[in-house]
Structure formats: structure tokens, C-alpha cells
A and B are shown apart, each in its own frame.
Chain A
Amino acid sequence: MKTPFLYFPPYLIVGVFFTLLLSFASAASETAAEAPSKNAPKTILQWKFDGAKEAGEWQGALGKGDGLQEGPLPDRYPGFEKGNKAGYFQDKDAFLVVKDRERGGSTDVRFALGDTFFFETWVKIKEIKPGETSYLIGKGRHGKLGVNLGEMNQNYAVRLKGANEGAEIGFLFTSIDPAQKGKRDWHRWTSKQRIPASGWHHLSVTYTFGKKDSLAVRIDNQITEGIWDMGGATDLGPVTDADDLVIGTGYQRSAAESFTGWLDNLTLSRGAPDPVELEKRYTFIPPPPPVNRQMIPTGQVLVQISEKGVPEANAWPEAPEVTESFTEDVFGLFDLPQKYISTGVRGDRANPCHIRASAVVTIPAGKHRILLRSRGASRLYIDGKQLLENPFPPNDPAGHHTLSMQDDYLDLGPGFRFAPPGNRDAWCEFTSTGGEQFVILETLIGGIMGKSKHRPELGETVVAISPEGSEHWSILSPGKRQVAYTDAGWNAYAQERRTRLDAMDTKARAEKRAEHAAYWNMRRKAAEEWLTKVTPISIPKLPEGYPAQNPIDHFIADRIVQAKEDAKLATSASVDYFKEVRPLLEAKCYGCHQGGKAKGKLRLDIHETALKGGKSDGPSVVPGDPDESSLILRISPDAGDDIMPPKEAPFTAEQIALLTRWIKEGAPWPQFDVKRFDMMPLAEDLVFLRRVFLDIVGVPPSEKEIAQFQNDPVESRRTLVIDRLLQDSRWADHWMDLWQDALAENPNILNPTLNNTGPFRWWLYESLLDNKPADLFVTELLRMEGSERFGGPAGFAIASQNDVPMAAKGMIVSGTFLGVEMKCARCHDSTTNVSKQRDLFELAAMMEQAAIQVPATSSVPLDRLQQTGREPLIEITLEPGANVEPAWPFPQFIKEEAASTLAENPQSSRDRLAALITAPENQRFAQVIVNRLWERLMGRGLVSTLEDWEKTEPSHPELLAWLGQELVRQKYDMKAIARLILNSHAYQRAVDPQLTETSPLFLATAPRRLTAEQIVDSLFSATGAPFDVEEFSLDIDSVRDLKNSITLGKPRRAWMLASTSNERDRPSLTLPRVQAVASLMETFGWRGARQDPVHHREINPNVLQSAILANGTVGVWLTGLSDRHSITQLALSVKSPEELVDRLFLRLLTRHPDAAEKESYTAYLENGFADRIVPESDRPKPAQAKHAPPLYVSWSNHLDGPANTLATDNQEAARLGDPPTTALREEWRKNLEDVIWAMLNATEWIYSS
């Protein structure tokens, strides 16, 4: 810093320079007797933190010259100049050591009896925990860390002691009593006033050793009171010796006694300045009012978000700088619009972040009650006067809160909405004189918590009013909108505002994307140019007699015709290739002779290569000539040592004879295992409708949606409904699982340690909502920007407890986007694929943007390779410890140079990687993407092994190539490809129920096992039973730091679930409702914990699936007719049992009942139908529950016995579900429940037809 003129008045400056020169130049001893008079203080040490060399040395990790940060600045602090720097002291990582002169120091820093000690500094606290004592300055007491003079040798120390919202000042020294053989004693003084926890403040301490009443401590020019609370005041002098003077940390240099914050203009003098002078030291010009009435739109609440000017401290900022604003109707906040960065990915706001809500509100004259509620610290002002305040959030009690603490709650009358967990209340009576009043609510969200932060949450930040004469509360409103502050009022308000926030977010993302339009337009242009250069794939002519709705059907029909030709040969032979030959080759040969890395370069899984043979033996199969076919030679017993297979049981004589005969007959090798070539007709309308709903939005159609479809013209209704559904936001819900699985999204709500990622689900979801083009989607993913813990793609970069996270991610990226399987290459060269470990590490290094050293834990030790005594299957060609530089390992798809022209930032290897993967030249990417869409909609990929294109060949190479080009032509719009597929005859054909898998020629599809998500979402959506699970968090009152606990919100669809993080196995850390749904989903192949990517889920039937549907908790919720269940409403409204059965079938199964069903169910429901309804007057009144907030279990109290009991009660309540409705007679209701049970256990919920 530069010397501020106010700080050193002109008449003193000369003197200061003089003494400085003197103290540096001379080592002459200065004793107390020689001390200047008290009006002429002599500076002995002065740190201004402007880079100049001063007495003492920076120490610690941060102390190497980078300890300078922004200091107090004009205009707020007029004594300083622009660009002024201060010293930053982070915990124990930075401090200053000044050696005693006797130990080589340049200045005398001892103070003896009679010396006047004067210390002053500007100080700004970053963090200090209540009760913690941190040293600003201390000479002596360093023990072995100093020069080993013991620890009772504190010449002097000025310390801060953390208190609520600020710090007390402490002055400490060790006295020595010559009269008592040099007896030493501690003397400690502690201030009553505090230094505020935020902003710059000035502190000075004056004390003349030997004069017990001489201590004067000033904070911001004001003398503060205090007491000598240890050892009392004394006339004794201090211990002086050769120990060090240390600034910024204490006698053990531990975090607990280290100062965290900034210091500037720290001065130590012998002799003090004039007291009058001292009262001018602190100058501060408050910022102009941040908001005034003129700024507020009439009848609205102006909400201002300040991310700048908010120090990282749990303290009110002096001058928060507004960075964003929006308006609200009333003083009710629960969430902010998201912050988006880059091309529109979720970012983190500054933490803490300051929010101010202001409005001009007409409050009638009278004495009203006012409530302030918030999660963060908050303050409420009316007409400039602070009315209410809520404190900063408490620290993590590590589970030791008690349930009984919740007995203490604020209840302000009937219907009063209790504070939800983790919110604090303050209220008062307020007398208004009537008319317009200027109301300001400010709150801080987030905040410091040790080395981490609180989650930045608003909770329920509300100002509510109960006017004089009323018992009721409403949210304070400046305009017409009135929101009753009751549970129902709030829920409706929050739901409506949620929709508005979502819309604001969507708009904000679009704006961010628009900022990057120039680059993406360039990409589009490059793609168009590429299209003009490549030979377009021509659409084959439609063979006669085949139906077609679009080009896809041409390709499909063309292939069928070809396959028919192939099959003719095969049918004339006596050996069945698919039944007899291939299984044999699969069992005996494929182990080594399949895929891209076949042994001896011999692939026996493909016709062409089998004919050609490998590198040694010549043709493997010579049709018609077994004697020339090396396959036969190598498997016959005559082969001796060369016999195949080398280790397993040899082929039997019968097997050899079979293969010989097969070759003799011409070795027919049809590509498809198809005997019949008849094609299924189009599915019926309702069957199609259910399928297309499940495939696009993940749930079946409602009765209304069915009617809408049926009201459309017959010839266009299918196209129309496809278009409607592609516009539906539920599309995003339905397609989540694909990406969560493939990208191994694996958040943990508690202490992430099991290869966890951040919850980048929210970015995925928004990408699907926005229908981001595939190339942009992949680019955003690979840039890994934005929020790590709250839903940005940065969360993808995380792999907790993984030795090379980027290698794990590289493996995911290569499989998902390029069809290159690299799982094995994670630790060694792949046995079945061509990828080497180095390839994966090069890819990883591109993602890391730096070279990666291969850790030993990412390799297989050689002794392990040999352990079993067999020839190792795996090879290690990358030494542990090797350094792998970023490089593009897939030149077969595109040359690395292409990145230089295509990447937005060619300097960034992540951008380069994104460009190389998504470049139009790289048709592998386009084809992999369309293949994924195809597989999902058609039940079978054109390449069936989605993530490993080495393993299988495409069934329809031309169609695949055409679709790949089409994706480029459609600007990488995945919905456009989906639309094509959905409109094809191939997609719309009826299912052949007897197929176990979809025909490779797509003549017909097999019944498709629905995903766990589809099953759960469909059941809830169709029945209208409430999907009511807990907030997905084990820290609902938000006491933990954001690294250890997050919330995944209140799930409304199945994809929003995740691992329940229940490794601790504690009943009090369970979410029984989430658990019930998760247990059901897991039986259907969903995984809560996704430690690795999955491209094909398990789909085989097992006993637990139907068991848990039939008898499990979710089954109870779905069948139990409560007042909240929408079939209850249906049952009350229908006119006849027939109508009920009809409508149930339509609603649940999207079809009409057949005769047997109709008869059976109508008969069952007929009895008692007429008087099924209990007259309202006869229904038992619900018991009036005590008006009290529901108790909750969370991390904060989970070790408490009663909390544990509550958790087990909650489990029981979850098992029981909602109480049954009283509107229906019990017996009849139970019958209806039985019918619903039967319908819900039909296979139609499990398999799509």
C-alpha cells in the first residue's frame, strides 16, 4: 500500500521515515530509559504489504510472496489509494516471523518495564470460530518452534477471540517479578466490545508496562472496555528474551490459533501517538444506499442478488455489489434463478451470496405482528429501521442434536405455518402509522464452515404479517397478490413460482447459448460444407410389396430382400448354421477369435474374415472343400501341438464331422438367423399410442390424451401425436436414465466416497429439456465446467476415491460416444479390444489438460499375472510411473489436426477433444448416437453392442451411414432422428409376442421389457396415486457442509432417485419412502449406485420383481384407495360398474377389457356398487391433530435415541401408506382395491407391446 495521508498526518511523516531509517540502519540497543517521550512514538516495525521488503519473513505454504491481496480501498476508505494491497493470512498456511535482534533480527522488538507498547493494524476477519483465539501478533511463547526458551515468556501478544458475529480483543503477557526470584505469571485482558466479523476495521493497543491502568484499546477510534480476566492488572514488567515475534499465528502454529483474514498497515511502536490523533485513525465512508424507493417497480418486490463485495465470512457485507436482479410478487423466496455460465450450464454463485428483497408496501395503521423467517442470516428493515434479525446458521452438531430440541418451536396462532427444518424465525409487534412503508429484507445464503461452505440455500425466506385484529398470516405483499401463509397457501404459491423460475432458467440458458452463436454457426457451416463433400448415402428403391412410411423403411425392406437371398442357400443345406455351427464356434473359438483383437488375426465371428483366414494358416473356411479349410485341420486330432482350442477340451469326432459336412455343403453362412420373412402389420391404434407414449415421455396416455388422439384424423393422428409428444417436457424425464447409466452419474447424498460424481443430473435434464444438439451436449460434458456439487457438468469430472478420475471418465466417453470399449485398458492392454492402456491414458490426459502419471494402483503387478501359472491373458505395455501426454488416440476416426480449425479454443485439450469427437468428419460419433436412439426405440441396435463396435458388425451398414449423415443434416438434433424412427413403419409394426428378441431384420419387434423408471412412473402416473417420497437428503435442516451432504430435492419422477447412501446401516439415516421405490426399481435392473457405466441393463425376469410389486410397499400405495388416490375420485363419479371397468382399463392399460375381463371384474364390483358411497354426513370426521410441527430426523439428530425411534415409526408409516378413504364403504372399496391390484400386476406394466 501507499502511505495514506490520513493515516500519517504530514507533520509526522518526516519522523516516521527518520525512525524507519534509523531502526534499519542501526543495531544500537534501545532500552526503556531511552524510549522517546509518549508524544514522539518511535516506529520499530511496519508492515504495509505493498511488496516492499520489511523486517521479518513470510512463512508457511502461502507465505512465499503471494500473501498479498486486495486491501482497504477508496472511496470507502479514503485513507488508502487505489490498488492498495493487504497481507492475506490463511489459517496456519501463512504467517510472518520477525527474529529478535539478538538472533540476527534487524530491529529491536522487545518491550521492557516502562516501555510504552503501541500496536495498530487494519484488520479484516475472514473466519473465526466462536471460542477460538487467534494471534495477530505475539512475541515469545514459541517453545521449540522458536528458540526454545520455554512457553512462559510472552513479552506481549494481541489476539482475537471468536465470538458471535465478531471477535473480542485480547492482550496477553507474562510478567516477571524480580522480588520473587523472577516468578512468572500470565496477565490477560479481554475486551467487551468486538471487532465486527466483516469489513475493514482499525485496531490499536497502547500499554505502558509497569502501569497497570495504562491499557487503552481502540476499535475504529473508540476506546473499548474490558477486564483483566487472568492474573489481574499488574505493575510488574514483562518477560523479555530472544524469542521470535510472530504475526498471524500462535504458540503452536495450529489452525485453531492462526488468524484467517487480512491485515494492513500493521505498526509496532515504542511510544504511542496522541490519543486525539488515535481517534481519527479510522475513516470510513458508508456506501450510498443500495436501493431506494425509485428503483422499485410499483407493486413489486425487487430482489437483488449480490455476488460481489461479499467477503468469505459469516458476517454482513459492508457493500454488497448487485450482480443480478429480478422481481417477485411477495416477500416469499425459496429458490433463486439458476446461475448459468459458458453455453448455459449450471454454475455456482459466490458463496456466501447476499440477497436483498425490497418493496414499498402499504401497511395500514395499527399494531401488527410481523414474522421474519429464513435459513441464512437475515434482517428486516422498515423505513430504514431494523425490525427483526435471524442469526447465522449453526455449525454441524455431528448428529448430537436431540429430538426434544424440536419441542421448542414458534407457534403464532391457528393455521400458522411452522418453520420447516433448518429455518429460523423472529417476530415482533410493529406499529404502523399507515401508508406506504419501505421494506427491505436481506439475507446471506451459504457461508463459511471450516474449510468448506454451507449449501447456498434460501430455505423458506419469508416476511409475513398478521394484521391487527386477525389471527391469520399472509406473506407481506406490496401489490395485489395475497398469499395466505399457511401450509396450503405456501405449497400452491411455491408450486406456481417453481414454474416461473423454471421458465426464467430456460430463458437464461437460451441467452447464454446465444452468446456463443458465432462459434456454433461456424460449426453448422462446417457441417454443411462437409455434407457437400461426402457422397450421400442413397436411399434404396422400395422393393415391391413392402410398406414404407419414410426412407428408413426402404433400407429395412432392401435388407430383407438381400437376407432372403442369403437364406435360400442355407435352407438347402442339411446343417443349420445358427443352430449347430455358430454355437460350436462360439463355445470353442470365439474366446480368442472374435472382435478386433482376435488371436492370430483370425476372426471366426465374421463370414468374410473366416473365409480369408488369419496370418498363418490361410483360408479358414473354403466353401465346399474341407480339406483346404484350415479350421478343420486345426481342430482335428492330427494337428498335434497345434490343435485348437489349445487348452480346453478338443472338438469331439461328431463335432468335427458336423463342421466338415457343413463346409462340404458350401459352408452357408447367412448373416441373419431368420427363417420366416413375414412382416408384422402396423400395430393397432391404441397399442401404438401406449407404446409411443412410453417411448417418448415414459408414461402411458391419460384418458384425456387418448381422447385427443382419437379425435385427430385417422390418417395423421400418429404423426400428430408424435409431434406433440416430442414437444412435451416429459421427454426430458424419460431420456434421463440412458445418460445417467452411460455416463455413470453417481451422486451420494452423504460423504461421497464410493466412486461418486457430482449430481450432474440437473445439467443432463436441462440439456434434454432444451434438446441440445448432440455436439453441443458432448462439448459441454467434456468441458466439465460449472457447478460440481449442484448440478453442472463439473460434477462429471469427479470420481471419489479413484486413483485417476480422468481415466475412469475417458473409459466412459470412449464407450458412450465412440463405441470403443476401454474398460480393460483402465489397468492393462485390453484382451479383447484393440485399445491399449496408453490410448486410454492419452484420452484421460486430454481431459485432465495435463500429462498423467500412471499410478501403480492403475496397473497389474507382474507377479499377479503369473500367479495362476497360466499364460497371462493380459499384457502390460505401459509402465507404472510413465508420464502420458494428452493426445488423440483415435486417428482412425479423424486426424488430430482437425481440432485446430474446429475447436472453439484450440489451446484447450478438452475443447480439442470435444471437437474431434463431434466433428462431422467423425461419422463414428454420429452413428453411435443414432444407434443409441435406434436401440432404445426399436429394441435392438443396428450395432447390438452399443459401447463396443469391435465386437459386432452393423446389421444395416447403409441405414446406419444414412442416419449418421442425417444427424449432421439435422444439425445434430436427436429429436429429429427420433421423429424419423417413430414415423417409420418399422417402428409402428405390431409386436410378435413370441419373439425373445427383436428380429435383426426388424420384421417384428419382441415385447420390450420396460425400464424400471418407466414401470414406476407409469404406475404412479396412470393410477394417480401420489408419488410422495421424502426430500432426498439426509441433511434436510442443512447443518452439514456442502462437501459432505447435498439434497437431490423432492423426487417427482423415478430418475430423480439415487443411492440411499445407507452404508452406515443406521435406521435413523434411512428414507423409507425413497427406499421403497428404490427397492422396487433395483429388482428391475436400475442401479442406485452407478460406480461404472452400463449400456445394457439386466432384463431377465426374477421372482423378486413380481413379489415386490404384489406385496411391497409401493404396491400398497398404488392399490390403497386413499383420499389422495385419483381412482378414489373415479370410483365416486362413475355411473355403473361397467363404466368403471371400462375406464380403469383405458386409464391403466390403454385398452378396452376383453369379454372375460369385463365379466369377471364387473361381477366383482357389482355387489354393493349402488350404495358404495358413504354419505358425507356419515363419514367420520378426521381427528383434530394437535397443531404442532411434524418432528423430523436428520443428520443433525440421528444419534439421538428418540430420533431413531421416530425413524422406525416413519418406516412403519411408509409401509402402511395413506389411510383409506372414508368416502367409500370398506367392503366395496376393498373389492375395488383387489381389482386394481390384479390390473397392476398384469405383465402389461412390465412389457411394452
Chain B
Amino acid sequence: MSRRREGGDRVLEVKSGIRDRPGLLAKLMIAPAILYVVAMIGIPFIMAIMYSLSDATTGEPNYRFVGLRNFGEALADPVFRLSLKNTFFFALVSQTLVIILSRIIATALMKEFRGKWLARFLIMLPWTAPIALGTIGWLWMLDSIFSPFDWIFRRLGLLGTPGALLGPMQNLYWLGQPGLAMASVILVHIWRLLPLATVIQLAGLSSIPRDLLEAAEVDGAKPWRRTLEITIPLTAPIISIAFLFGLVFTFTDVTVVYVLTRGGPVHSTQVLSTWTFFKGIEGGDLAQGAAISLFLFPVLAGVATLMLRMARKREVV
């Protein structure tokens, strides 16, 4: 295939001028995108590393090298350690659940039924609406006094009476208790990322050749064996893409935590990205903020490597 392409290009190079020189044209056309990415991602990234090695603050942004002091200070800070733990916890728990749930939805959506377009539209809604605004809706649903969940529990007698299963208080205070606040953040992450994962899984499921499944059925393979030996292995690469994407999204997300809890109560839902924001931007400690944010990088680099490796592997197939 590629040999033929080269041959084609050589014929065309007989004509001259920039407009017909593929090599030069290719570089010229890709240059703006590369320059933009280098200027706006590459340089700031290097600056972030430099800040993390300095003692710059918003009030006094002059550069003074202090070595690894900021990283040491960050590691010694219990809030930082807690947010590091929370970041992993939120990302792994929510994404594991997302993968399982999205598989269930995708399998259901592969079937034909009436009203499917409507179901699809409703299931996709969380992904299409701006995340901050969807989360605001959840904030009102998890309100300390007017939460509809509390209302249902009260109606069912599970809450608000002495001896009730969920306690005698009138409310659960979703965002006011560490455990429930964590569960709430995870729930909203799942709500938000389920649609994307579902769509990716749908793409995976529909890429399985139908005759393969039919042939297996003819050969007498039971449904569970078809799932285990055909569907799962064939969709594994695309599932891992969905998983890695979701991981990156939750890992770097600020919005859900910022809008729902601002990291509270007492930092129990604080994550690295919100902590970076509070320290570096609101607190004005640029150096500390940069150091905290860089702790995200090894994980992201790991994810990126995995994705690269998968992209390569897929091309061999």
C-alpha cells in the first residue's frame, strides 16, 4: 500500500512549485498545529516545572531557585497526602463501575426496541450538557434540607423517626459527612462519564462480525461462552481505551469536586487538581501549586504510554 503511494507522489513531483511538493507542503500544513501546541502546552509545562522548583507567589513572582523543597513540603502536608489518596480512589472506583455499567447499557442498546432513540437521548444527556451546570443540578439534589432522596427515605420511614434505619435525623446531609460526600462525588462522576463509556462500548460491540457470533452459535457455543470467548476478547482493546479515557477525565477533573464540595468536609473529598487550584490560584502560592499539580504527571504519562502501546498493537492486527 505505502509503496504505491510513494510511486504516486513521484509522478506528481514532475510538476514544480510549493503547491505540488508533498514533503514541504506536509510540513507547512502541520506547522500551525504543532506551533500552537508547543507554545501553549509545551512551554507552560516547562514553566510549571520551573515554578515547582522556585518560591514564587502571586504577590512576588520573581524567580528564585529552591530545589525540591516544594515537593518535600507537599509530601509532608497531610492534606496533600489525603488528596493524593482520594484522587486514586475516586478515579479507580468510579471508572470500574462505569465500565461495568456501560457494558450493561451498551448490551441493552444493541437490541431493537420501541422508543430506543428517546432512551438513547436521555442516557446521553449527562455527557452533552456542560459539566458545571449538570453538577449544579446535583448540588440541589444533594441539598442538606431539600434533597429528594431524603424525602423519599422519610416517606418510606427509613429516615427521620426514632429507630429508623438511616437514623433519627430529618436529613442525611449528603455533602456534610465525609463518607456520603465521597459517595456523592463518585456518583456524579459516574453519571457524567457513563454516556461516553456507553458510546465507546457500543462502537466496540457493533464492530464484532455478526457471522462470527452466528458461527459460534451454530457450533453450539452457549451465550456465556460466546461472551467470554468472543465478545470480551474482541472488545477488550476498546474497553481499555474507554477505561483509560475515563481515568484521565476523573483524575484531572476539578469541576465536580469544586462545585459539589470544594474539597470538604474537612478535605475529605479534596483531590490533587482542586488542591492545586486552592493552593496555587486562590492561595497565591504558585510554587506549591505547581509542585502539587506535577504529581499528576507520572500517572498521566503511564496512561499515555499504555495508550500508545495499544494504538501500535491495533495496527499490527
Q: Do A and B bind each other?
A: no
Q: Residues on A close to B: CB < 8 A?
A: none
